[in-house]
């Protein structure tokens, strides 16, 4: 499966919809594919896994580190992006009320320094997200052999793909039950560690 087939690459187009979210939010197809892939990866564990050395999944653990670095970078300016998007929408509406044509409205809005910064932040965030998606594709091509490897894949799935990061008591029941099952499939101490981390982790931090 290529990156293009699982991640939407449609760019943010403010001239069509000034309230559209950054494109890195749009990956429902990826989520469906990744959920199925994660289940298969977690269940199809060879018998030799129990005797596997701890460093057998070193490549997966390294990929997890790089994925979370890209994930944090892609979310670093979320608050400012949301603030500037609201300000841009308000400015656009103000100009519309004044009777300015659509072309003139957008020409003026995009000429303002704060909204030029917004576009730069969105593009930077998208670049980090694209980098993360490539790393996730690489991770999903590697079979996990140990609890640590399965935990790495599940933590990436839950945090970076499905975005099921809320504390247990704040989650939708269906998502909570699915998350519990995925964590259970990790097995052993790694599963217990994941379960404890997700129990009260701030949703904007994720579990790495």
Distances in Å between the Cα of 162 and the Cα atoms of 183, 186, 207 are: 14, 17, 12
Please, are residues 80 and 121 in contact by the beta-carbon 8 Å criterion?
yes
Dihedral, 55, 60, 64, 67 alpha carbons, nearest 10: 150
Percent of all residues in the chain with a pLDDT value above 90, rounded to a whole number: 65
Please, are residues 207 and 201 in contact by the beta-carbon 8 Å criterion?
yes
Say yes or no to pLDDT of 56 above 50: yes
Please, are residues 42 and 154 in contact by the beta-carbon 8 Å criterion?
yes
Taking only the tens place, the pLDDT of each residue in 111-146 is 999 999 999 999 999 999 999 999 999 999 999 999
For 159, which DSSP code?
Answer: I
Distances in Å between the Cα of 90 and the Cα atoms of 94, 109, 134 are: 6, 10, 36
Please give the Cα distance from 60 to 63 (Å, whole number): 5
Per-residue pLDDT band at 207 (split at 50, 70, 90): low
Please, are residues 158 and 198 in contact by the beta-carbon 8 Å criterion?
yes
Taking only the tens place, the pLDDT of each residue in 156-195 is 999 999 999 999 989 999 999 999 999 999 999 999 999 9
Taking only the tens place, the pLDDT of each residue in 57-67 is 999 999 999 99
Please, are residues 42 and 22 in contact by the beta-carbon 8 Å criterion?
no
């Amino acid at each position: 499966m290529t990156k293009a087939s699982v991640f939407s690459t449609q760019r943010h187009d403010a001239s069509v919809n000034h309230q559209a979210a950054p494109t890195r939010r749009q990956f429902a197809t990826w989520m469906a594919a990744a959920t199925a892939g994660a289940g298969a990866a977690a269940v199809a564990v060879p018998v030799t896994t129990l005797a596997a050395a701890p460093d057998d999944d070193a490549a997966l653990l390294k990929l997890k580190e790089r994925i979370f670095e890209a994930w944090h970078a892609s979310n670093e300016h979320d608050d400012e992006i949301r603030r500037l998007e609201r300000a841009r929408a308000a400015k656009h509406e103000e100009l519309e009320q004044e009777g300015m044509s659509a072309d003139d409205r957008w020409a003026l809005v995009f000429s303002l320094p704060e909204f030029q910064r917004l576009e730069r932040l969105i593009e930077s965030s998208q670049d980090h997200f694209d980098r993360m998606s490539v790393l996730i594709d690489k991770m999903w091509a590697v079979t996990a052999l140990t609890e640590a490897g399965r935990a790495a894949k599940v933590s990436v799935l839950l945090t970076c793909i499905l975005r099921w990061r809320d504390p247990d008591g704040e989650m939708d029941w269906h998502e909570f039950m699915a998350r519990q099952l995925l964590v259970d499939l990790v097995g052993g101490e790694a599963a217990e560690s994941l379960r404890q981390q997700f129990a009260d982790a701030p949703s904007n931090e994720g579990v790495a």
